[in-house]
Structure 1
C-alpha cells in the first residue's frame, strides 16, 4: 500500500511538472529563436544600409573594413555583392572578388529588392546557420546586396541549457516529493500494517500484541480501536466457550460414572422383565460418557497449538490394527492392512492413533445404505441408526488431520458404504505408493500419503 501511495503521489507530481515545464520550455525556445532571427535581420539591414552609402559614395574600398568589424562583433559570415551581382567582399575570403553570384536565388531576389531568410548548412561556420540576404537600396535602386550567415549553435546550446535546467529542477522536485510522500504514506499506512499483523496473529489463535492507536489518520486510529475491542471480545468469547466445554465435560464425567454404577447395582433387585430397559439405560449412560469424552478431546484440540512431528505411519497402522483385531473378531469381521509402506508423515503427537481408532470404531458400525452423510458435523448420526455413537468421531478425525497439515474426505465405496481417505504430508518427498487400507467388514478405511 505504501508503494501504491508513493507511486500515485509521484505520478501526480510528474503530470503537474510536465504540464508546467513543457509549455515553459517550448515558449522559451520559441522566444529565443524569434529574438535570434529578429536581431539577425535587423543587424543585416543596418549593415546593408551602411554599405549602400559607401557604394553610393564610390567608396567601395571601405566595404571590407566594415565587413571585418561586423564579423568581429558576432562571429557571423558576411558576403557583399554590387548591383550586378559581383562580389565586393567576403569575410572568409573564400570567394574571389569580382565573382558573379547573380544566378544564386537569394542574391537574384535581393537584386530585385526582396529580402530572404533561411536556415541552411554553412561550411564556413561548421554547422547550420540562419542566413539573411537583404538589398542595400535607396528607394527602388539596389546598389548592393548583403548576405549574413549567423551560426545557430549558440542559440541551440542556450535552448538545450534551459531544457536541462528544467529537467534538473523537475528531478529535484520529484526527489523532494518522493521523500515527503514516503514519510506521509508510511504515516498513513502504519495503522493498516499494524492491523494486518494483528489480524494474522488473531487468525493463528490469539492476539498477544494489540495494534497501537497513537499514529496515523484519525479515521484509521478509530478503526484500530474498534478492531482491538472486537478482537478482545472475540477472544474472551472463544476462551469462555472452550472453558465451558472443557469444564462441563470434566464435571459430567464423575456423575455419569456414578450413575452407570448405580444402574448396574439395581440389576439383582429388578424384575427380570425390566432388565432390557436397564441395559438400554446403561447403554445410554455409556454413550453419554463417550460423548463427554469426545467433547473433552475437541476442547483439547481447540485449546492446543501443538506443532506437527515426524511420525512413522506404518508402525502406527500396524499397532492399531493389532489392537483392534480382537475387538473386530467379536463382530465377526477381520482387519487387514494392505498396500506399500508409506514411511514417515507429519502429524500432531498422538493424532494418528486417535484418527485410526475413530475410523475403525465407525467402520465397525453399520451405516444404512443410500444415506447422505454430512460426515464432519459434530453430533451427527443417521436418523435410522440404532448403533451407539456420539457423532463426534469424524469431527475429531478432521481436526486432528488438519492440525498436522493434512485433510480427510469421504468417498462412496465401490461395494457400498464409504471410504474415508486421510491425506497426510510426507516428511520426505517420495513417489506416491499404494494407499494404506484398513478394511473392516463392509466399510473400508483408507490412509493415503500424497
Structure 2
C-alpha cells in the first residue's frame, strides 16, 4: 500500500508539473522566437539606413566595413544589393559581389519597398532567420539589405530553458516523493502493525496488539476494533479449550463406571438378556470413543499449528511395523511400496495420526486374504489402497463429514476418523482425496508439500501419540 500511495502522489505531482511546465515552456519558446525576430528586424532596419546613406553618397567601398563590423560582433551574415538587385557587399556569405539576387522573393519584395521577415534553409542546409529591409528615402529605393542569423542562437536558449524546467520538475518530484513517502508510511503504520497482529492471532496468541495511537482516525478505530475482537476471540478460545480439557476428565469417568456396572449385571440376568447387554456395552464403548474423538478433534482445531519438516519414509516404516501384527491377525497382508519420499511439511505428530486412521479404516473393510498397500508416489504423495468394497461417488463426497457413516456400514466407527485426518492434512498444507481402484477397493490419496533439507520451521508442540485420534475411528 505504501508503494501505491507513493505512486499516486508522484503521478498527481507529475500531472500538475506537466500541466504547468509544458505550456510555460511552449510560451517561452514562442516568446523567445518572437523577441529574436524583432531584434533581427530592428537591426536590419538600422543597417539598411546606414547602407542606404553610403549608396546615396557613393561610398560603396565603406559597405563591406559597415556590415563586417556588425556581423563579426553578432555572428550573423549580411548582404547589400542595389536597386537592381546586384550584390554590392556581402559579409560571411557565399554570395559573391555582382551576383543578381533580384529574383529572390525577399529581395524582390524589399526592392518594392516592403520589408520581410521569416525562416528558411541556409546554404549549408541549417535553419536560419532572415530579415530583409529596403534601403530607401521616402519612395526612392536605392537598395536593400538582408540580415540572417542561425536559428541555433534561439533554439539553444529554448533548449536551456526546457532543461531548467526539467531540472526544476525533477527537484519538485524528489521533494514530493520524500513528503509522499513520509506521509504514506504514517498512513500505513497502523496497517503494518495490524498485519503483524493478524499473523500472531493466526498462530494462536496475540502478544503485540496493533498500534491504535497513530495514523488516520479511521485506521486507529480499525486497530482498536481489531484488538477488542481479538481479545474476545482469545477469551472464547481459552474457554473452549478449558471446556475440552475439563470435559475429557468429567465424561470419561461416568462412561467407564457405567460400563463396569453393566458388566456387573451379567451374572444376575437371564441368559436371554445377555445379547442385549452385550449390545448395550458395545454402545457405551462406542459412546466413549465418540466423546474421546470429539475432544481430540476440538483440541486439534484449537491448537495453533506450524508445519515442520518430517521424514515420511521413517514414519511410514514405523507405523507399518506397528500395524503389521494386527493385519496378520485379520489375514490381511500389509505391503509398503514406492520410491523414497524424503522429508515433507507436516505439523508435529500429524503423519502418525494420518497413517493410523487410514490404515485402521482400511483394515476394517479389508476381507481376509487381501492386501493393504501403502504406496509412496512421486511428489510427496502417500496412497493407502485396500481391496475392500469401496465407496460410491456420493459416499466419497460425504466421507469427510463429521459423524457420517455409509448407509450399508455395519462397523462400530464414530464417523470422526476421516474428519480428523482431513484437518491434520489441511493444517500441514496438503490435501486428501478418495478415489476408486480398478479392483473395487478404495485409494486414500494424501498429497503433502516436499520440504527442502536445509529449511526448518518451528514446531507447535503437537503430541506425537498416534493413539490420540485412533480412538475416534
TM-score range, shorter chain: 0.7 to 0.9
Whole-Å separation in 1 of the counterparts to 2:430 and 2:41: 89
What is the aligned partner in structure 2 of residue 394 from structure 1? 418
Whole-Å separation in 2 of the counterparts to 1:369 and 1:120: 92
The answer to whether 1:412 aligns with 2:436 is: yes
Whole-Å separation in 1 of the counterparts to 2:447 and 2:93: 99
Shift of 1:99: 4.8
Whole-Å separation in 1 of the counterparts to 2:442 and 2:390: 11
What is the aligned partner in structure 1 of residue 85 from structure 2? 85
Q: In the superposition, relative to structure 1, how do residues 341 and 322 fare at CA in structure 2: closer, same or farther (>3 Å)?
A: farther
Report if aligned partners of 1:52, 1:137 keep a CA contact under 8 Å in 2: yes
Tell me how large the CA RMSD over aligned residues is: 3.0
Tell me which moved more, 80-89 or 341-350. 341-350
Report if aligned partners of 2:434, 2:445 keep a CA contact under 8 Å in 1: yes
TM-score norm. by structure 2 comes to: 0.80
Shift of 1:384: 5.7
What is the aligned partner in structure 2 of residue 216 from structure 1? 215
Unaligned runs of 5+ in 2: 366-388, 454-473
Q: In the superposition, relative to structure 1, how do residues 204 and 327 fare at CA in structure 2: closer, same or farther (>3 Å)?
A: farther
Whole-Å separation in 2 of the counterparts to 1:71 and 1:262: 129
TM-score norm. by structure 1 comes to: 0.83
Whole-Å separation in 1 of the counterparts to 2:12 and 2:363: 71
SS at match of 2:14: helix
The answer to whether 1:31 aligns with 2:54 is: no
Whole-Å separation in 1 of the counterparts to 2:39 and 2:332: 113
Q: In the superposition, relative to structure 1, how do residues 90 and 317 fare at CA in structure 2: closer, same or farther (>3 Å)?
A: same
What is the aligned partner in structure 2 of residue 51 from structure 1? 51
Report if aligned partners of 2:64, 2:90 keep a CA contact under 8 Å in 1: yes
Report if aligned partners of 2:71, 2:92 keep a CA contact under 8 Å in 1: no
The C-alpha deviation readout for 1:167-197, integer Å capped at 9, x for no partner, is 1111110100011111111111222222222
Shift of 1:93: 8.3
Report if aligned partners of 1:213, 1:224 keep a CA contact under 8 Å in 2: yes
The C-alpha deviation readout for 1:288-337, integer Å capped at 9, x for no partner, is 12123223432442326365432414422431332313552xxxx42332
Shift of 1:392: 1.4
Report if aligned partners of 1:314, 1:342 keep a CA contact under 8 Å in 2: no
Where do 1:64-213 residues align within 5 Å? 64-71=64-71, 74-92=74-92, 97-122=97-122, 128-213=127-212
Shift of 1:164: 1.1
Whole-Å separation in 2 of the counterparts to 1:341 and 1:99: 101
The answer to whether 1:334 aligns with 2:337 is: no
What is the aligned partner in structure 2 of residue 380 from structure 1? 404
Whole-Å separation in 1 of the counterparts to 2:159 and 2:452: 66
Q: In the superposition, relative to structure 1, how do residues 16 and 284 fare at CA in structure 2: closer, same or farther (>3 Å)?
A: same
Shift of 1:58: 3.9
Whole-Å separation in 1 of the counterparts to 2:299 and 2:44: 102
SS at match of 2:395: coil
Whole-Å separation in 1 of the counterparts to 2:358 and 2:68: 113
